[in-house]
Chains A and B, each alone.
Chain A
Amino acid sequence: MSGTNRMTGADAVLRSLEAEGVDVMFGLPGGAILPLYDAIARGTTVRHVLARHEQGAGHMAEGYARASGRPGVALATSGPGATNLVTPIADAWMDSTPLVCITGQVRSTLIGTDAFQECDITGITMPIVKHSWLVQDVKEIPAIIKAAFHVATTGRSGPVLVDIPRDIQEAELDFSYPDEVDLPGWRPPSKVHPLQIREAARVVALAEKPVLYVGGGTLNGDACEELLQLAEVGRLPVITTLMAKGAFPESHELHFGWPGMHGPKWSNFAMNKCDVLVAIGARFDDRVTGKLAAFAPGATIVHLDIDPAEIGKLRVADVPVVGPLKMAIAELTREVERHRSEGVPAPEAWLQKIVDWREEFPLRYDKSDELKPQTVIEKLQELTARDDVIVTTGVGQHQMWAMQYIVSERPRTFITSGGLGTMGYGIPAAIGAKAARPEATVVCVDGDGCFQMTQQELATAVLENLPIVVVIVNNGYLGMVQQWQDMFFAERRSQVHLTRQVPDYAMLAQAYGALGITVESEDELGPALEEALASGRTAVVDCRVAQSEQCFPMIPAGAAAIDMIEYGESVEAM
């Protein structure tokens, strides 16, 4: 315990955040959290970024967390403020993003009376948080904030919520920040079982056709360097999920794309024809596996995860390894190295096979007079290839094209909503990433539909001096939904047309004080992107692309991953 002094609960929250080393928080005030905002006005070292919508604040905190590896902090008032945080909390839950939400609540004496802006936010969020606290005594604040950060960041990371009634923010306590947490029931795995490691290494080293199926847990577990070692030592092919994009350098000869619904054919072939599948911080999501029963049918499964509940949840693990991935992968590498040095050969023929598939089934699309969405992303990649750039995305076709055409070389440089698939994630996540890494160029590859869900945060980007470049892949449609309607509902387009003209995105950007540029052709594309990237300002590049381009290859939902539809193939072939 270090130093005590008398202060209000609201001040105690800020002193606690400072003690946790928080440098930025994102939020929007209201009645039930006025005392905390008053404390902010009286002074704190934590920068507050004023969002225009609490959903924006939540996604900013997520973007901050994903770019920095530190927990994001979001603040909101009771009732509607708190319910606006529900989407980011659910998003953080699905993608295991460390997020600490602090909400104001009505006075303790009013709880349960349907008071103005009362809402049972701990109840509403119970299934989508690791834990939550409704503070009942001002003296608990330091210990609860300490515990909140601890729970959010240890084990499998994720969101937590602290709900603080207004009278408790106003009450006084003698503040001292605890050195340790008192959570007897919270003991995430801290070791790995040496026998399991040895068995895993034997299976991996002896495999003729191994694949490392790498998920977002590798980033969360700060295990990317260890992964690189493992792959290089064992000469093991690496396939990274959408959530793990960037966990392994994508220009590396051992990187072989991304699995699942819109992954390239060579990646899905490798995943499904391998003899040993090493899942690392990955969770056999249906968008990755396609029809589960037909997924990697012949493979022995080695599954490494910090969360014991992921092991065997969807696919039985032949060799389960529970523990922190950084430690698990390092130990696995040592053992695999021993096998290799004892003469167990690397799977060179298999590596060549995947290279052959890649040459046989490359990603492709047809150019036309109209600007193609893929071209927009390829150009963006070309122009930013040598920069320190972070890419965020919305959800839809543009997100999948970004996965396919952006080359992510470093961890925490590709930030997207995977598990929940939250439209509108891209802009606020980019702002949060910029707050975490001001030196980086932050680009949001957005859809026209997604843009309209959180565009108001452009005001935040401009006024808080957190410049981001938004590249809208403007196909005038809720494109991904249109694609499904065209493919699986006999081209009956139902409520998916947005138009490319309304709103005029460039004018809208200018209204927010940002740079706005409209791009109608491939010729205009490069100069516009260059101008936006060089401007140092928040910029919106509205790229009006072909309206009916579809995203391929594709595994239709519920189909076996091996039955991918390729670009130009008709669905009838299914």
Chain B
Amino acid sequence: MKHTISVQVEDKPGALARISTMFARRGFNIDSLAVGPTERSGVSCITLRVDCEQHSLEQIEKQIHKLVNVLRVTELVPGEAVERELLLLKVAAAADKRADLIASAAALGGRTLDLGADAVVFELTGTPEELDSFQELARPHGIQELIRTGRIGMSRPSTRRTSRRLSAIN
């Protein structure tokens, strides 16, 4: 099962390395990872997507929490969080075949960034699922290059969060 974990860290040298080393050492695989600044100066947010059992997830949370630079670890529970990702996609498309693609990108809120003689570059921001579906749509045309940022997310103020901390672990 896939989980999204959001980690607030002090912006100190090695903070990211410590987290990724911990994953590697304990044999957990990272599907995606995105790092960036937050509303607090000196604090970065690392969003990790991992594929693991619930038991491993608890281990991961606890192990990350022990790292000295880590301020907070939360799981972004599906339905209780918004999650977004950015996709850049270079698709082979001769001039006469690109109208379709441009239209579907536009329908998903995407943008056409560059038009070459036989390829187009699209930008699309959305839920990871939306990105997946656009990717599938583009695939038959011939994907030349594809980059995704990895997801980022935050909890929804509109839903009450179910507690993700184990009650016994104070």
A residues in contact (CB < 8 Å) with B: 122-123, 126-127, 130-132, 134, 136, 151, 155, 183-186, 189, 191-193, 196, 307-309, 311-313, 320-323
Contact = CB atoms under 8 A, between A and B. Distances in A.
Given A123-B17, A185-B10, A313 B59 contact: yes
Contacts of A308: 62, 65, 166, 169
Interface of B: 9-10, 13-14, 17-18, 21-22, 25, 55, 58-59, 62-63, 65-71, 166, 168-170
Contacts of A309: 59, 62-63, 65-66
Contact of A126 (B14, B69, B70): B14
A320 B168 contact: yes
A183 B68 contact: yes
Contacts of B22: 127
Given A126-B17, A196-B168, A185 B55 contact: no
Contacts of B59: 309, 312-313
Contacts of A192: 170
B43 to A, nearest CB: 9
A158 to B, nearest CB: 10
A139 to B, nearest CB: 16
Given A127-B25, A131-B67, A312-B58, 19 more contacts: A122-B14, A126-B14, A127-B21, A127-B22, A130-B66, A131-B68, A183-B68, A184-B71, A191-B170, A192-B170, A193-B168, A308-B65, A308-B169, A309-B63, A309-B66, A312-B55, A313-B59, A320-B168, A320-B169
A322 B68 contact: no
B170 A323 contact: yes
A126 B68 CA distance: 12
A307 B62 CA distance: 9
Contacts of A320: 166, 168-169
B7 to A, nearest CB: 10
B10 A322 contact: no
B16 to A, nearest CB: 11
Given A126-B14, A127-B22, A136-B13, A189 B62 contact: no
Nearest to B13: A134
Contacts, number: 61
Contacts of B170: 189, 191-193, 322-323
A196 B66 CA distance: 22
A111 to B, nearest CB: 11
B113 to A, nearest CB: 35
Contacts of A184: 10, 71
A311 B55 CA distance: 11
B66 A307 contact: yes
Closest 9 CB pairs of A and B: A309-B62, A131-B68, A308-B169, A320-B168, A127-B25, A185-B71, A126-B21, A186-B68, A308-B62
Nearest to B68: A131
A263 B147 CA distance: 56
Given A185-B9, A185-B10, A185-B69, A311 B169 contact: yes
A183 B15 CA distance: 13
A189 B166 CA distance: 14
Nearest to B55: A312
Nearest to A311: B169
Q: Which of A126, A307, A321 is most buried by chain B, counting CB atoms within 10 A of its CB? A: A126
Nearest to A150: B68
Contacts of A132: 14
A484 to B, nearest CB: 26
A108 to B, nearest CB: 12
A191 B170 CA distance: 8
A322 B55 CA distance: 18
B58 A130 contact: no
A324 to B, nearest CB: 12
A322 B169 contact: yes
Nearest to A199: B168
A170 B13 CA distance: 22
Nearest to B25: A127
Contacts of B18: 126
A193 B63 CA distance: 21
Contacts of A311: 168-169
